[in-house]
């Protein structure tokens, strides 16, 4: 929490950025604040919350080097845990490269995130490929570790670890 000089500590003051920021909802490996600080050093964690009416799934097996890739799809009875970041334009360009949005593999879509302090309209990456296929066990482990690093509920991370996965054949 940032407070102005002489202000009451319980009064929240909006952070001031040298440039405009947009809110980004991370649901995959970018849930991990450490990973995000490496990829986007100027984009702090804003909050965590839930994408209600969406579910975590996998697709684009032909595009992944180790199985299907994480994405979200609309589903009226599901929800996905997310970390919301204040992303600067510079970091957004870098994140687009990391997520292959600059090649068209992922596209950005606007979603609503429910947080403890209210609802936010943010953007998230959605895979531009068919749903289906299996992720690798190692990829599921990275996703679950990222969820744990973002303080997702233990049953959420355990659910990721318990998903069906692709056998490596090794």
Catalytic status, residue 99:
yes
Closest CA to 60 of 133, 1, 123, 156: 133
The beta-carbon contacts of 4-7 under 8 Å, at least 24 apart in sequence, are: none
Separation CA 63–CA 165 (nearest Å) = 16
As annotated, the binding site includes 139
Residues 6+ apart with CB under 8 A from 102: 96
The one catalytic residue in 90, 92, 94, 99 is 99
Separation CA 110–CA 25 (nearest Å) = 9
Separation CA 72–CA 53 (nearest Å) = 10
As annotated, the binding site for substrate includes 139
* Residue labelled with tokens 């890739």: 69
Catalytic residue list: 99
């Amino acid at each position: 929490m940032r407070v102005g000089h002489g202000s009451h500590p319980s009064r929240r003051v909006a952070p001031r950025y040298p440039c405009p920021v947009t809110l980004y909802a991370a649901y995959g490996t970018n849930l991990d604040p450490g990973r995000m600080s490496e990829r986007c050093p100027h984009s702090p964690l804003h909050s965590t919350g839930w994408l209600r009416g969406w579910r975590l799934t996998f697709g684009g097996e032909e595009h992944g080097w180790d199985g299907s890739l994480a994405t979200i799809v609309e589903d009226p009875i599901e929800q996905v845990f997310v970390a919301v970041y204040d992303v600067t334009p510079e970091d957004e360009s870098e994140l687009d490269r990391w997520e292959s949005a600059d090649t068209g593999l992922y596209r950005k879509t606007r979603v609503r995130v429910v947080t403890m302090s209210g609802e936010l309209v943010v953007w998230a990456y959605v895979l531009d490929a068919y749903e289906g296929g299996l992720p690798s066990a190692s990829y599921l482990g990275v996703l679950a570790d990222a969820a744990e690093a973002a303080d997702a509920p233990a049953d959420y991370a355990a659910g990721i670890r318990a998903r069906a996965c692709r056998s490596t054949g090794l």
